[in-house]
Amino acid sequence: MAGAMPMHEITERTAAIVDGYLHVEGPLLPILHDVQATFGHVPDAAVEKIADLLNLSRAEVHGVKSFYHDFQTSPAGHHVLKVCRAEACQAVGGDALGDAIQKALGLDWHETSADGTVTLEPVYCLGLCSCAPAVMLDGELRGRLKPRDAEALAAEVRR
């Protein structure tokens, strides 16, 4: 995605995105979401351009980008697996499920497989507490998982 894209193209496309939000009060979050949708992550060149066009410091834009865990600093894998780490899921085996998923994928939190197939992300509530422990695979919620389900999840993302 943006890794192969020349920097001038990243800054031009980012400028066009920002331009579409200049009439909006508090445009930074929508801009960051659109930049990520465009490039698959928020490139450093985009952060610099956003800061310049919104008259913010790069630190301010970076602070917002790094505060929200959904903003990627590098392109995510083809599949994104989010594992709930909140208390309700932990109380019914979420830690064991998370450990089993990490082992099955050979990844740690916030890592993407070398082949770009899957990114593993911890999240702190998917809103599926009554069906804990829960995960979200490519936007699809799944609940009442057990550590034994980790291998099936890993096989699914490798297809």
* In a shared domain, residues 56 and 86: no
* In a shared domain, residues 44 and 83: no
- The answer to whether the beta carbons of residues 137 and 91 sit under 8 Å apart is no
| Whole-number Å distance between alpha carbons of 139 and 82 | 9
Does residue 49 lie in a domain region?
yes
* In a shared domain, residues 84 and 147: yes
Does residue 32 lie in a domain region?
yes
> What domain range is 33 assigned to?
2-67
* In a shared domain, residues 63 and 83: no
Q: What confidence category does residue 69 fall into, taking pLDDT thresholds of 50, 70 and 90?
A: confident
Instruction: Write down the pLDDT at residue 64.
Output: 96
Look at residues 88, 85, 109 and name the one whose alpha carbon lies nearest to residue 97: 85
* In a shared domain, residues 15 and 46: yes
* In a shared domain, residues 57 and 17: yes
Instruction: Write down the pLDDT at residue 94.
Output: 97
- The answer to whether the beta carbons of residues 111 and 80 sit under 8 Å apart is no
In this prediction, residues 57-67 reach a mean pLDDT of: 96
Write down the pTM of the prediction. Answer: 0.77
Please report the beta strands in the chain, taking only residues with DSSP state E, as ranges in sequence order. Answer: 79-84, 111-112, 118-123, 135-137, 140-142
How many other C-beta atoms can be found within 10 angstroms of the C-beta atom of residue 117? 15
